Amino acid sequence: MFTRPRRITRGAAAATIAALLASPLLAVPASAAEAPPEPGANPEVRGTAAQQPTDRFIVKFQDQGQASSRTRGNAYGVKARELGISVKELKVMGTGATVVETSRELEAGEAEAFVESLEATTAVEYAEPDQILQVTSLSPQDEFYHYQWPIFGENGIDANAAWDTTTGDGITVAVVDTGITRHADLDANVLPGYDMIGDPAEGRDGDGRDPDASDEGDYGESGECGTAPSSWHGTHVAGTIAAAANDQGVVGIAPGAKILPVRALAECGGWMSDIMDGVIWASGGAVPGVPANPNPAQVVNLSVGGSGGCTTSWQSAINGALGRGSIVVAAAGNDNENAAFVSPANCEHVIAVAASGRDGGLAPYSNYGDIVDVVAPGGNMDIDPLGGILSTINMGSSGPVEDFTGQDYAFYQGTSMAAPHVSATAALMLSANRTLTPATVEDILKGTTRPLPIPCGGGCGTGLIDARAAVDAAVAGGLPTPPGPGTVIVPGSVAITGNPRVGQALTAHPGTWSPAPETLTYQWLRNGEPITVDGTGKVYVLESADHDKRISVVVTGTRTGSASVSAASAQTGPIAPGELTGSTPLIRGAASYGQTLTVDAGIWTTGTAFEYRWFRDDGLLADKTGPTYAITLEDIGHRISVQAIGTKPGYDGLTKVSAQTAAVTAGSLTAPVPTVSGTTKVGYTLTANTGAWTTGTTLKYQWYRSGVPITGATGATFALTAADLGRSVSVGVTGSKPGYTTVLKYSAWSGTVVAGSLATAKPTVTGTTKVGYTLTANTGTWTSGTTFKYQWFRTGVPITGATGKTYALTAADLGKNISVGVTGSKAGYSNATVYSVRTVAVAAGTLTASKPTVSGTTRLNYTLTANTGTWTTGTTFTYQWFRTGVAITGATAKTYKLTTADLGKTMSVGVTGSKAGYNKVLSYSVRTVAVTR
């Protein structure tokens, strides 16, 4: 689900790549203007997907409070008996529904049949599978602010302009996700949250639900969901929303808002029921067994999703949140497919968010379709590693690295990253105008979007969100009335900011236009001529061609019904040459004959070209202008240095000189003492470990037996034979290379070689420990070529004749413990016998039984017959007839003749089956109709 995210840490401004894409997600369009269905209604499910195997279900009874345990048990039991399962109630949800768990995982068809059986019961209002939802699966003056293009970039959301009005003060955003970790960029804005994961093992905190929302890590260790390291997904989402503006790290879209962390996801994702309870609690609703939330969130972010339609439980949870005044934002999914099949994004009254890249187009992984409401930056790192979303994480690969020592930053991509941009923008809007309703917030968000600069053919909602425009509309209380046709656009005062030097970025500021244009386009000019390459964005990076030229920009505003209007900025002064920056070069490598020295230029301005000059002492080495230098015989006794000359068009040149090396010495082989590894037993192979010799060294081997060379033993390995028994073995390694002194190194002697022993394994016994079943001895893995003999034991006593690999349990084994001994043998090795653990006591066999039926005419003087059906072969039967449920004295035959005492009564029969070594089984027939004359 995740690839390991690469990170940015202080002092290292390198880009990092992470493919944070979730499991398949589905979605249904959110529409806050439509009235939510009443609780308990069965709204239309928008989209279907194949049901996955599951052992958890959500069941809502008609009257949850009055439904007795017997009523609930009867509802579960009908289909449970047929499927051969038991049902355990786990908890009551905030919706009033009960979460139940079956004794085994049901396949798709079984799960569907179980749900249909429950819903066919009059006591059940609805039933549905509980699902695992996953993260939408594998980012001023803050230190890394310049990497946060979604805030201020050409295809960002203009959040920095919205900060002139508000930073989100007074608003709480709930992040229902993997939890939260300590981080200096977050702690000041994090409220006490809650851990909604009910299973202590899944939660990895040992105590189930609790008031600690700390992320314990979602790393994979079971193999079921892979073995990826922890993603710190919730921390990343929280940082995008409300990382503090504190002159370090990154800043959130709404740095004045508060984060309410709700932990509901761990390894493999999270149970839908836990996530829904998280939404309910976060929005101020009541969840059984969980204390009331003292800080209800005005916005709930769900960067999660799973396949399927919007279930009744999901819609009920969202309706409740909406009714309490909370806005719900959800990711649309990362499978490059129609978002109509992603929940909860496909629920009514949810703002479904698709993702855009740095170019403003729909990201290649993002879902799309009519269900999408808006688009927000989610990143695209396929081309540019810096094109992701930079935010806060923890550096732990499994559990968190505690306190601030573990804080880190990373670029991620996904609709999981897009959704928090919308949630944070909603927080800015609510902070600017506390009277806005969820419906009005959604209308404004959709009504103030900008068209995507790259057309979206699959459905991208109303477009890319614009935080500044949304906040302006929020202050006004709603969307402005569009001006009439022919309205004249009055342009703003266009200005340019930035450092007018090659390599630096200039930013166009259009000023305030009235009325506001629907679109603004930019054209940068070089000495009055249009710049044709990368010259049509809001930001322009000065190139070498701009040196000594004057730069200006023309901004053109357009809107339907009005004539386009353009306004130009003043020209800059002549653009100054760029200033190269560069490190003092370092020489890497050993200053000895046969070695090659390499220049480490260090960190220079991107695009710098290098020329090198090598020196022996103070003398220039002719024609030595490359980044490497092979030491020659003439260099011995002298010192080497290098000069790095950096150039780039439009920049002033820069020269840096390294320090001199130590005096060059003669070459010598690196020759470690060899070691011998392996087991000193006959049948095992010893290996000579040479260590790391000088590259290109040729190695030869000679093995010794108690100091005497072994004829023909000249390889890197040596197989021990009977001749080595009781001796010690060593190896000599000779290294040679032209121009170097040949070196011979001896290993230490190994221990005395002993006789071989078989590799054994403790046998196991498989099979059902019931009379009538067969047990099998599993030997495990022994030395190749081993042969086996078996002896079965009954409570420690050998069973005569039971010497095969399998053993059929008989009546004699009833109540006894069975085990097996396995003896392995191989020529040249000592025999070995290993015993299995005893089984549990052998139980009586279980008869296969059928429900009896009664045949015959239910009239006076007619004879009824009991039909036993199919039972275990060899079963014997006894009978007892009943008159309206009361046993009839003496009526114990297979047949029964009706008498006057039976008139008006219903008849049934009980059949008892028995067989030696098996438990008796009593089964009753269904009652007949009333007996007539």
Tokens of 234: 């919730």
Catalytic residue among 142, 158, 195, 233: 233
The verdict on whether 416 is a catalytic residue reads yes
- pLDDT digit string, tens, across residues 856-896: 999 999 999 999 999 998 999 999 999 999 999 999 999 99
pLDDT for residue 185 is more than 70: yes
Q: Dihedral of the CA atoms 351, 355, 361, 367 (nearest 10)?
A: -80
CA angle, 494 then 495 then 498, to 5°: 150
924 DSSP β-pair partners: 910
696 DSSP β-pair partners: none
Give the residue, 131 or 242, on which the prediction is more confident. Answer: 242
Return d(Cα 201, Cα 229) in angstroms, integer: 18
Helices (runs of H) and strands (runs of E) counted in the chain: 11, 57
Which residue type does 806 have? T
Q: In what order do the strands lie in the sheet with 743-746?
A: 708-709, 698-705, 729-736, 743-746
- pLDDT digit string, tens, across residues 463-498: 999 999 999 999 999 887 666 677 788 888 899 988
Residue 513: count of CB within 10 angstroms of its CB: 19
Asked if 456 and 387 count as a contact pair (C-beta separation under 8 A), the reply is: no
pLDDT band at 334 (very low <50, low <70, confident <90, very high): very high
Residue for token pair 């001896």: 746
758 closest CA partner among 685, 833, 687: 833
pLDDT of residue 136: 47
Q: Within a 13 Å sphere around the CA of 663, how many CA atoms are in the beta-carbon half? A: 5
- pLDDT digit string, tens, across residues 251-281: 999 999 999 999 999 888 899 999 999 999 9
Instruction: Determine phi and psi for 830, rounding to 5 degrees.
Output: -75, 140
Q: Within a 13 Å sphere around the CA of 928, how many CA atoms are in the beta-carbon half? A: 28
Return d(Cα 773, Cα 778) in angstroms, integer: 16
For the purposes of burial, counting CB atoms within 10 Å of the CB of 435, is it exposed (0-12), middle (13-18) or buried (19 or more)?
exposed
Average pLDDT over residues 561-577: 92
Pairing assessment for the beta strands 717-719 and 764-766 based on DSSP bridges: unpaired
N- to C-terminal Cα separation, the chain:
74
pLDDT of residue 369: 94
Catalytic residue among 130, 142, 158, 177: 177
Which residue type does 619 have? G
Residue for token pair 């800059």: 572
pLDDT band at 40 (very low <50, low <70, confident <90, very high): very low
The verdict on whether 177 is a catalytic residue reads yes
pLDDT band at 161 (very low <50, low <70, confident <90, very high): confident
pLDDT of residue 141: 66
pLDDT of residue 295: 97
349 closest CA partner among 389, 316, 393: 316
pLDDT of residue 140: 66
Question: Coil, strand, or helix at residue 126?
Answer: strand
Asked if 209 and 290 count as a contact pair (C-beta separation under 8 A), the reply is: yes
- Where is average pLDDT lowest: 136-150, 325-339, 586-600, 841-855? 136-150
Return d(Cα 699, Cα 601) in angstroms, integer: 36
pLDDT of residue 244: 95
pLDDT of residue 228: 82
Average pLDDT over residues 119-147: 76
Relative orientation angle of helices 467-476 and 415-432, to the nearest 10 degrees: 30
Average pLDDT over residues 21-25: 26
Tokens of 197: 């994961």
797 DSSP β-pair partners: 794
Catalytic residue among 230, 313, 366, 416: 416
Q: Please tell me which of 167-181, 196-210, 586-600, 602-616 the model is most confident about, judged by mean pLDDT.
A: 167-181
Tokens of 573: 């002064």
Return d(Cα 202, Cα 297) in angstroms, integer: 26
- At a CB cut-off of 8 Å and minimum separation 6, what does 218 contact? 135, 178, 230, 231, 233, 265, 266, 267
- Where is average pLDDT lowest: 27-31, 131-135, 558-562, 807-811? 27-31
- pLDDT digit string, tens, across residues 68-82: 888 888 888 878 888
pLDDT for residue 713 is more than 70: yes
Return d(Cα 366, Cα 413) in angstroms, integer: 10
Give the residue, 53 or 239, on which the prediction is more confident. Answer: 239
Return d(Cα 606, Cα 608) in angstroms, integer: 6
Write down the mean pLDDT value for the chain.
88
SS3 letters for 141-176? CCCCHHHCHHHHCCCCCCHHHHCCCCCCCCCEEEEE
pLDDT for residue 310 is more than 50: yes
- pLDDT digit string, tens, across residues 414-423: 999 999 999 9
pLDDT band at 531 (very low <50, low <70, confident <90, very high): very high
- pLDDT digit string, tens, across residues 768-780: 999 989 999 999 9
pLDDT of residue 483: 65
pLDDT band at 31 (very low <50, low <70, confident <90, very high): very low
Asked if 287 and 110 count as a contact pair (C-beta separation under 8 A), the reply is: no
In Å, how far are 126, 529, 579 from 493, measured between CA atoms? 62, 21, 31
pLDDT of residue 416: 97
SS3 letters for 704-758? EECCEECCCCCCCEEECCHHHCCCCEEEEEEEECCCCCCEEEECCCCCCCECCEC
DSSP string, 178-242: S-B---TTTGGGB---EE----HHHHTSSSSSBS--B-------SBBTB-PPP--HHHHHHHHHH
- pLDDT digit string, tens, across residues 205-214: 888 899 999 9
Give the residue, 23 or 458, on which the prediction is more confident. Answer: 458
Return d(Cα 299, Cα 424) in angstroms, integer: 8
Return d(Cα 244, Cα 259) in angstroms, integer: 11
pLDDT for residue 796 is more than 70: yes
Q: In what order do the strands lie in the sheet with 258-263?
A: 194-195, 258-263, 172-177, 299-302, 327-331, 350-356, 374-377
660 closest CA partner among 637, 683, 633: 637
- Where is average pLDDT lowest: 393-407, 616-630, 640-654, 879-893? 393-407
pLDDT of residue 12: 23
pLDDT for residue 221 is more than 50: yes
Instruction: Determine phi and psi for 761, rounding to 5 degrees.
Output: -140, 145
pLDDT of residue 708: 95
pLDDT of residue 39: 25
Across 865-885, b (16+ Cβ under 10 Å) vs e yields ebebeebeeebeeebbbbbee
Return d(Cα 641, Cα 170) in angstroms, integer: 61
pLDDT for residue 16 is more than 90: no
pLDDT of residue 50: 47
pLDDT of residue 227: 63
Asked if 931 and 905 count as a contact pair (C-beta separation under 8 A), the reply is: yes
pLDDT band at 827 (very low <50, low <70, confident <90, very high): confident
